[in-house]
Amino acid sequence: MKRGRREFVKSLAGAAVIAPGIVGASHQPEGPSMKTTRTYDIAVVGAGVFGAWSAYHLQKSGKSVVLLDAYGPANSRASSGGESRIIRMGYGPNELYTRWSMRSLELWKGFFIRVEKPLFHRTGVLWMMHEGDQYALDSLAMLQKLKVPHQNLTRAEVERAYPQIEFGSITWGLWESESGALMARRAVQAVVDEFVRSGGEYRLGAMAQPKGRKPLAALTTSGGETVSAGSFVFACGPWLPKVFPELLEGRIRPTRQEVFFFGIPPGDPRFSPPALPVWIDLGSEFYGFPDLENRGFKIALDRHGPEHDPDTASRVVTLEQLREVRQFLGQRFPGMKDAPVVETRVCQYENTSNGDFLIDRHPDFDNVWLVGGGSGHGFKHGPALGEYVARLITQGGATEPRFSLATKGKVAERTVF
C-alpha cells in the first residue's frame, strides 16, 4: 500500500489504540478490568472534520494529542460521514467565511497532494440567482473584493453553457471556477490516518460526561480507561448538546437532513463533470452534485428538517421529501425526470441558532474548548478552523466574537448560509 497506509483500527470491546509512530500496528483493546491512565497535552473528542483537523494541526505544533470518537472517523452517524460536500467561496457579506473557504481550499489541495489522494473535484460551482437577490449581490461583491476567480453570467450565457438545465425564473448565474466538491468521508479518514502516521494517537471509545468545575483533569472511556490531558477539545458535532445538555441544549440544534442520489441516463454525459458542475439554486433551497465517481446525481434541500437524535433516529428517507425532490428535479433537470433512485442517506445538520460556528471555552472548565455548530456549511472550513483552534490553544489570544458562546441563543435566527 502506498506510503504504508494503515487500516483504521476496529473496536472489539472497549477502547482501541493505535500506537504513535508504528504504522499499521495496533494494541488489543483493553477490557473493563484493564483500567489505565494515559496523559497527553491535548485530547480531542470527535473525529469529524472539525476534530480531525484540530487534532492534526495541534499535533503538527508539537503537542502530544489523542483523538477519540465513539463510532469512528466520519462514521455513518456523523455529520462528516457523507459521500461529498461542497466547497465554495460565496458567503454573502460574510468576509470571514469567504476568507476561511479560500484558506481551506488551499490546505485541502495541499493535503491531498501530500497523501496522494485525489479527493477534491474541481467541478466549479454554479449559483443560480434571481433578480434583486441581496445575498447573491453581496456574494458577488465579496468575491470581487477578495479577488476570488469568478464570472457573472447572464441568463443567455448560463443557458448556452448548460442546456441540460431548465432555468425557469433564474435571471443570472455566479460561477466559481476554482470551487467544487470534497469527497467527505474519505477526506476525513485521510486526515485521521495522516495524524496517526505523524505521531498522534486515535482511540475508538465513548466518553463519560465531564463533571465538576475548574480545570478538567481527565475523561473516562467506555472501556474504563482514563484519559488525562492539559486541555480538551470537544468537537463532537450533534453530540455536543448530549455531552453538555445544560449548556448547549437549544443552542446546538441537530436536524434531520435527507439526501438523494439518482441514476443518470445510460451513456449520457450531460450530468457528469465537466458538463455539469456542483450547483446551488439559492431561491429554492436545493443544491446538488454531478455524477461524481459514478455514484449518481446527488440532490438535497438546505432547509432545516425536524429534530434528530444522531444515535437512535431512523436513517430511512420519507416519501414526502422524495416527492418534493423528484418534482424539483424534473423541473430543473428535465433529462433526469424519470431517473431511478440509486442511493439515499439521512444525516443531520447541527447548526447554532444563527449559523455561526461555536468556538469558545466552556464557562465552567477553563481548559475545555467547545467546537461545533458547523453542519450545513461547515465541512469545507475544516482545515482553516483546525488551524484557528490550534493557534488559540497553543498561542492564546482573543476568540472571534461571532464564535462566542454568548452569541448563541435558543431561538433560530439563521443568518449564515
Q: At what angle do helices 184-197 and 49-60 cross, to 10 degrees?
A: 30
Low-confidence winner among 196-200, 329-333, 347-351 (lowest mean pLDDT): 347-351
Whether the pTM exceeds 0.85: the reply is yes
**Among the CATH numbers 3.30.9.10, 3.30.1310.10, 3.90.1150.10, 3.40.50.1100, which is that of 122-180+253-351?**
3.30.9.10
Name which of 191, 234, 189 is nearest 53 in CA terms. Answer: 191
Element (H, E) at 188: helix 184-197
Grid cell, residue 298, equals 446527488
* 12, burial (CB in 10 Å: exposed 0-12, middle 13-18, buried 19+): exposed
In angstroms, rounded to a whole number, what is the distance separating the alpha carbons of residues 404 and 215?
Answer: 19
Residue 383: alpha-carbon gap to chain centroid: 10
Instruction: Say whether pLDDT at 36 is over 90.
Output: no
Domain locations in the chain? 2-80+185-252+354-407, 122-180+253-351
Q: Is 123 helix (H, G, I), strand (E, B) or coil?
A: coil
User: pLDDT-derived band of residue 3, with 50, 70 and 90 as boundaries?
Assistant: very low
Q: What is the mean pLDDT of residues 391-408?
A: 94
What are the tens digits of pLDDT across the range 125-179? Answer: 999 999 999 999 999 999 999 999 999 999 999 999 999 999 999 999 999 999 9
Residues in the chain, total: 417
Instruction: Say whether pLDDT at 195 is over 70.
Output: yes
- The pLDDT assigned to 5 comes to 36
Instruction: Please give the torsion angle defined by the CA atoms of residues 310, 284, 182 and 207, in that order, rounded to the nearest 10 degrees.
Output: -20
Instruction: Please give the torsion angle defined by the CA atoms of residues 222, 228, 234 and 235, in that order, rounded to the nearest 10 degrees.
Output: -80
Instruction: Say whether pLDDT at 59 is over 70.
Output: yes
DSSP string of 349-411, one letter each residue: EEEESSS--EEEEETTEEEEEEEE--TTT-GGGHHHHHHHHHHHHHH--PPPGGGSGGG--SS
Say which residue the cell 447554532 belongs to: 352
| CATH fold label, 2-80+185-252+354-407 | FAD/NAD(P)-binding domain (3.50.50)
* 247, burial (CB in 10 Å: exposed 0-12, middle 13-18, buried 19+): middle
